[in-house]
Amino acid sequence: MDFEKDYYADLGVLPDVSKEVIRAVYLALAKRFHPDTGGEHADLEKFKTINAAYEILYDENSRKKYDEGRAEHQQSSYNQDVDDEEDLFDDELVDDWAFAVEYYPELEELRKEIVEISSTLSVVFQSTILGTKKFGAAGAVKAEIVTKFLERYFGTEANIKIFAIQLLKIGRRDAARELNRAVLLFGKELEPTQVITKIRLKYDIPEEENWGHYY
């Protein structure tokens, strides 16, 4: 067990998720990166990283030991290696999800919106909805999950979070990674306007409006 590693980031999940969510995300990622079944996504090193994280986080005792060895509210480095805008599915959830969508069609629209921000987060959303049975409150569940994700990787400053959403939704995860690095490095000394302007210029990011409704 390496306390310097962020196993949660390796799986693309937040520290407060259930073991059921961890399993769902792991199965989806393992299928994507498996050397034999991953196709164009196959990546042995990523597969090993995902497995190592799962072994620590799925076991309750090792997860407790790991959590105790790390800062309680430590922010994480954004892991774009397991996070993209492509659909990601856990085969064990597919049938139940399809059935739920027959009765609550808005579930799939919410899932698709989350995929644009984070593919792994969409699996977290599916697993959470199916596990908690909050089908009628899916919008609130989505908002809570997205907010926690943004604050984990990009802090609590409103303009930074809005900018992060823009970067993720237009597929500029390279720029999002730099924004995450700035948040981690500068901490309380971060100047939002300066950082946003710098990243816009460096990565040729267009000015956009009305992204604030997303969280």
* Residue 156 neighbours by CB under 8 Å, 6+ apart: none
Minimal CA–CA distance to 83: which of 141, 123, 38, 130?
A: 123
Whole-model pTM: value is 0.75
Provide the token pair at 198: 């710098």
Task: List, for residues 19-41, the tens digit of each pLDDT value.
Answer: 888 988 888 888 888 888 767 77
Q: Which amino acid is at 183?
A: V
Q: How confident is the model at residue 79 (pLDDT cuts 50, 70, 90)?
A: low
Residue type, 46: K
Q: What is the mean pLDDT of residues 117-140?
A: 90
Question: For domain 7-150, is the CATH number 1.25.10.10?
Answer: no
Annotated domain spans of the chain: 7-150, 155-214
Q: How far is CA 187 from CA 49, 71, 146, in A?
A: 28, 15, 21
**Average confidence score pLDDT of the chain:** 85
